[in-house]
Structure 1
Amino acid sequence: MPGYDVTEPRLRCVLPFEAVPAEVSQLRRAAAEQLSRWGIPVAVDDAELLVTELATNVVKHVGEGVSAALILEWRGERLRLEVHDKSSVRPSIRMMDRDQESGRGLHLLTFLAIEWGTVLTAVGKAVWCEIATDVGSTCLRIGRAVTALENYQALGGGPAYERGKDAVLAESAVALIADLLHWTAARGQDPDDILDRAQMHYEAEADVA
């Protein structure tokens, strides 16, 4: 999966790929290796997850076997991820039942990214998102978590607000974590391993803070 770098005026890498499930894992590894070469202080797990979701959406909604490309672009304190394909149909987030698997990728994109969107291109569209690359991003993570939990209540109706907003957010956090564990298990990953890795990230960032 060849790529090329342009170092001026910013760090940029283009990774063409074929939209098939086997290529998604290769693309994820290639992106992680590129970030490592750049030495970006970014949460690599977040970047890998976003690459996986963006590429998987092409496989599911554009067509298996189509040509696409991932662009990584590092600008200051943000890393931008773009996936270009040949479809002009823009993705949209729809309300869904908690038991639904389809469409969850865009909700995760909303939770993990600072910003995301779509733009039409000369041959189709690009779906893009940006994540922070600074190590001291605890406040950003907290704000992102609150936004995610407030939005997540709609997925399952959520408890009544009479119990207090903090209680609602706490219950939403439990439901979201449980759903994410189901999501990881459905993809053949070990939920306990995911929890251990999340705990390690939290403790490492808490020590730095």
Structure 2
Amino acid sequence: MPVSSVVRTTGHPGYSQTMPCTVESADPARQLVRPALCTWGLEDDGALVVTELVANAVQHTQGHLIRVSVSRPAPGLVRIQVVDRSKIRPERRNADDYSERGRGLFLIEVLTDHWGTDLLPFGKRVWAVLAEERVV
């Protein structure tokens, strides 16, 4: 399946890529986020955040594709998002010490300033925002 990438040439800077809704897409998602942050002169936990967003989409949607985006909507802010075909909003769980799953949204909550979900006509967008002062 071909992968499509888009670089925004107008508006605030951003990069997005459509990828298969599979666990293997976590690596290309990280490869999308890391260079964008480097281009903007930032380093952060964005690679881990996008990995968790992709894993959540893969686990909870029946769709075949996801859309991963990273943007800089304003100076000092980075927004990472994953769009999938499911309309079910993610919910943070409290995993016990022995659970193998259920920590992804907790990690996103800890690593970002805020996160959320936007329902779309065909699915949802799960996003997380990092502020530059936290980007170290």
**TM-score interval, normalised by the smaller of the two chains:** 0.7 to 0.9
Aligned partner letter, 1:42:
E
Helix, strand or coil for the counterpart of 2:54? Answer: helix
Q: How far did 1:109 drift?
A: 0.6
Indicate whether 1:66 and 2:64 are aligned. yes
- Distance in 2, matches of 1:23 and 1:48, equals 12
Using the TM superposition, name which of 92-101 and 119-128 deviates more: 92-101
- Offset from partner CA, 1:94-124 (integer Å, 9 cap, x none): 2221211211001001100101010101210
Q: More strand by proportion, 1 or 2?
A: 2
CA contact (8 A) 2:15 2:32 kept: no
For residue 41 of structure 2, what is the aligned residue in structure 1? 40
Contact 2:60–2:86 (CA<8 Å) still a contact in 1?
Answer: no
Is the Cα contact below 8 Å between 2:114 and 2:130 reproduced in 1?
yes
The offset of 1:30, in angstroms, is 2.5
1:34 & 1:41 partners in 2: Cα distance? 9
**2:29 alignment partner, one of 10, 15, 27:** 27
RMSD: 1.8
Higher RCO structure, 1 or 2 (CA under 8 Å, sep 6+): 2
Aligned pairs for 1:146-165 (under 5 A) are none
More helix by percentage: 1
Moved more, 90-99 or 103-112: 90-99
- Give the deviation of 1:130 after TM superposition: 0.4
Aligned counterpart, 1:196: none
Identity of aligned residues (%): 28
Q: CA deviation at 1:6?
A: 1.5
Task: Specify every segment of 5 or more residues in structure 2 that has no aligned partner in the other structure, as ranges.
Answer: none
Gap runs ≥5 in structure 1: 142-204
Per mean C-alpha deviation after superposition, the further-off stretch among 113-122 and 54-63 is 54-63
SS at match of 1:109: helix
Specify the code of the residue in structure 2 equivalent to 1:39.
W
Whole-angstrom CA distance in 1 between matches of 2:48 and 2:95: 21
Regions of 4+ moved over 4 Å: none
Counterpart CA distance in 2 for 1:3 and 1:128 is 18
TM-score, normalised by the number of residues in structure 1: 0.59
Q: Identify the residue that residue 108 of structure 1 maps to in structure 2.
A: 107
- Displacement of 1:18: 0.7
Aligned to 1:4: 6
Work out which of the two has the higher radius of gyration on C-alpha atoms and give 1 or 2: 1
Which amino acid in the other structure matches residue 81 of structure 1?
I
1:22 aligns to what SS in structure 2? Answer: helix
Q: Deviations over 1:183-204 (max 9, x none)?
A: xxxxxxxxxxxxxxxxxxxxxx
